[in-house]
Structure 1
């Protein structure tokens, strides 16, 4: 019930925060002007989206071209994903008023600023922010993050890590000597079912990041993203499962599920540009990073998270 309520707060408080401030900080700029490279500064509370005007050719439009109602809804969905990542890391040991404040602040300011850096044409990391010679400002390519491996998942993950570190582990996570006590989930059936639901949802999350499928090029990109996401998830799940990383050294279905999700998250960045064989390697790398990071965070840093 505690985690479920936090997820409701993520969606509700996040929607209001993203509506009032977040969308403007992420993408807002005055018509025919550029925002700064750090943060957007226009269209708060969708004030410009609700206006009616005409474009340069005299065609009537509702709101700022390219930043209409559909754009806000899709971007809010990504914001909700970043926000809800934290709920599991602080489960059962965070006051709900404090969590409400966190959900609003992350959705209204923290996450949108990162979005502006990478996805806004004016962001300092953006692959769309071109210099005079036609190349992106950073390393001539910019940060390529097709579906939010860094923008969405890393932002939410770092917030979760900081939250778990500040609040501390749940009671019983470590014994008197500091040794980790295994706290297994109560239902492997629900874990597997949730994994397949998330995997299915990623087919909207990753291919959908292309924002269009109505052209031959768009259909090709969407198709490639779906295939590479599948291969990355599969290889990561196999490595996590066959590597026998579980505490007992045997088959661990939950660890296999974790690997699949790690592969999907990793492929969010380059799903539209990598080759299928490279997606398999990316998934394998994601499983290794997941296992290594878990060991460091839990056993070395003593930051206890619920499994």
Structure 2
């Protein structure tokens, strides 16, 4: 009886093994027949998407920073402008901006102006595609919106809502894409050898130039400068919000710079992204510490607003070349950015240029420094070409922005009435206060 049972067990086991082997063989055959998975495509696309939503979060950072640095009677206006400008940028970059910035072979004027057409992210995936088109559109859109956010802070508290939003339409749909195409779209600056990894000039200084033109044409806030030349401080409403906004921007910058590597499909790309993250963080730290020390030396007290802007200036400075420097290199590049943030503010005051949040020192001047610092570490970059690129973009943005601002001033006016400005734009234009229980 035991022999019979053993035979039955052996026969059953043999059948089980045979039954298991058949599905495994079928799976192996199916795997051999299936097309190979393009892992580089997947990781590159993922880098764009993660970087994109980190840069998207910078929109919240700008909103919080500006809300904290304006007076209480204008907080709602700044929040409204920031969410509205982001929405407008999304639509305008789709309508014309993306294809204008990346024209491929479709240049209207070769190397200078691309083709005007609506962006499409649909269609089949090409066999040799490096990433999903939709991920690239999403990522690049965030840079476009960032440029407009820079302008918002500088002109705070004395510009009407609709003229600002119309300027945003022009900036995000046309001006930013045109100048960015000169480098990132394969235009004439790219051919000349200009180097701007993630946009110290193409994004930050561009926004700074547009803001500078607007600030000059708009003029300062009422009461900012006395007739005898004194500068009257106008403290912000909430330094806790401003500090939160700075930390949010610092976080978003890892996506801003890190995803600008544009690839994560190899070990070398992954290593590059890690280096960029570390250098970006070190530059911010250098900018914050240098600004903190300098304000202590100059004013005998640490100025928190300068410390915040010092960190941001360090971030802007490293953005043009975050991959090649050592950690020490990132530290001193960022530290000089922090010094710029402190030194340039009183210079603007002497010129009677009213920059509410310090965006011109942080984004324009520190952007210039970061652009010119690239040749210290990046092989093939030279100071002459870097200066050429900065000046060309600066002239284009100053002239084009000024034309738009002057047209808006002549047709619909830029400033509210003196009565409305004194009352505050929250009540005068929106009828909604951020802090209804407090006086401005």
Structure 2 unaligned residues grouped into runs of 5+: 1-75, 358-440
Q: Find the counterpart in structure 2 of residue 278 from structure 1.
A: 329
In the alignment, which of 61, 70, 78 is matched to residue 3 of structure 1?
Answer: 78
Q: Find the counterpart in structure 2 of residue 228 from structure 1.
A: 279
In the alignment, which of 215, 219, 224 is matched to residue 168 of structure 1?
Answer: 219
Is residue 198 of structure 2 the alignment partner of residue 124 of structure 1?
no
Shift of 1:265: 0.9
In 2 relative to 1, CA 97–54 (structure 1 residues): closer, same or farther, beyond 3 Å? closer
In 2 relative to 1, CA 163–210 (structure 1 residues): closer, same or farther, beyond 3 Å? same
Is residue 134 of structure 2 the alignment partner of residue 69 of structure 1?
yes
Shift of 1:297: 1.5
Question: Is the CA contact 2:284–2:313 (under 8 Å) kept in the aligned structure 1?
Answer: yes
In 2 relative to 1, CA 176–208 (structure 1 residues): closer, same or farther, beyond 3 Å? same
Question: Is the CA contact 2:224–2:232 (under 8 Å) kept in the aligned structure 1?
Answer: yes
In 2 relative to 1, CA 152–98 (structure 1 residues): closer, same or farther, beyond 3 Å? same
In 2 relative to 1, CA 34–12 (structure 1 residues): closer, same or farther, beyond 3 Å? closer
In 2 relative to 1, CA 30–184 (structure 1 residues): closer, same or farther, beyond 3 Å? same
In the alignment, which of 306, 310, 317 is matched to residue 255 of structure 1?
Answer: 306
> Hey, what's the Cα distance between the residues in 2 that align with 1:30 and 1:53?
20
Question: Is the CA contact 2:183–2:189 (under 8 Å) kept in the aligned structure 1?
Answer: yes
Is residue 265 of structure 2 the alignment partner of residue 209 of structure 1?
no
CA displacement, residues 12-57 of structure 1 (integer Å, 9 cap, x when unaligned): 11111111111111002348x9971112216x1115x43x3685xx
How many residues get paired? 282
> Cα RMSD between the aligned structures?
2.3
Question: Is the CA contact 2:93–2:173 (under 8 Å) kept in the aligned structure 1?
Answer: yes
Structure 1 unaligned residues grouped into runs of 5+: 130-137
When normalised by structure 2's length, the TM-score is 0.60
Q: Find the counterpart in structure 2 of residue 12 from structure 1.
A: 87
Shift of 1:8: 1.8
Q: Find the counterpart in structure 2 of residue 85 from structure 1.
A: 150
> Hey, what's the Cα distance between the residues in 1 that align with 2:212 and 2:296?
22
Shift of 1:107: 0.5
> Hey, what's the Cα distance between the residues in 2 that align with 1:217 and 1:35?
37
Question: Is the CA contact 1:28–1:35 (under 8 Å) kept in the aligned structure 2?
Answer: no
Q: Find the counterpart in structure 1 of residue 53 from structure 2.
A: none
Is residue 78 of structure 2 the alignment partner of residue 28 of structure 1?
no
In 2 relative to 1, CA 60–194 (structure 1 residues): closer, same or farther, beyond 3 Å? closer
Q: Find the counterpart in structure 2 of residue 100 from structure 1.
A: 165
In the alignment, which of 292, 296, 315 is matched to residue 264 of structure 1?
Answer: 315
> Hey, what's the Cα distance between the residues in 1 that align with 2:255 and 2:224?
36
Which secondary structure state, in structure 2, belongs to the residue aligned with residue 243 of structure 1? Answer: helix
Q: Find the counterpart in structure 2 of residue 184 from structure 1.
A: 235
Q: Find the counterpart in structure 1 of residue 111 from structure 2.
A: 37
Of Structure 1 and Structure 2, which has the larger fraction of its residues in helix? 2
Question: Is the CA contact 1:117–1:125 (under 8 Å) kept in the aligned structure 2?
Answer: yes
In 2 relative to 1, CA 290–54 (structure 1 residues): closer, same or farther, beyond 3 Å? closer
> Hey, what's the Cα distance between the residues in 1 that align with 2:108 and 2:245?
42
Point out the more displaced range, 177-186 or 66-75: 66-75
> Hey, what's the Cα distance between the residues in 2 that align with 1:84 and 1:246?
32
Shift of 1:288: 2.3
> Hey, what's the Cα distance between the residues in 2 that align with 1:262 and 1:115?
21
CA displacement, residues 125-176 of structure 1 (integer Å, 9 cap, x when unaligned): 11xx4xxxxxxxx2xxx22211111111110111111111111111111122
Which secondary structure state, in structure 2, belongs to the residue aligned with residue 119 of structure 1? Answer: coil
CA displacement, residues 219-242 of structure 1 (integer Å, 9 cap, x when unaligned): 111111111111111111111001
When normalised by structure 1's length, the TM-score is 0.85
> Hey, what's the Cα distance between the residues in 2 that align with 1:269 and 1:92?
31
In 2 relative to 1, CA 193–60 (structure 1 residues): closer, same or farther, beyond 3 Å? closer
CA displacement, residues 187-227 of structure 1 (integer Å, 9 cap, x when unaligned): 22222221111111111111111122231111111111111
> Hey, what's the Cα distance between the residues in 2 that align with 1:192 and 1:231?
18
> Hey, what's the Cα distance between the residues in 2 that align with 1:245 and 1:86?
29
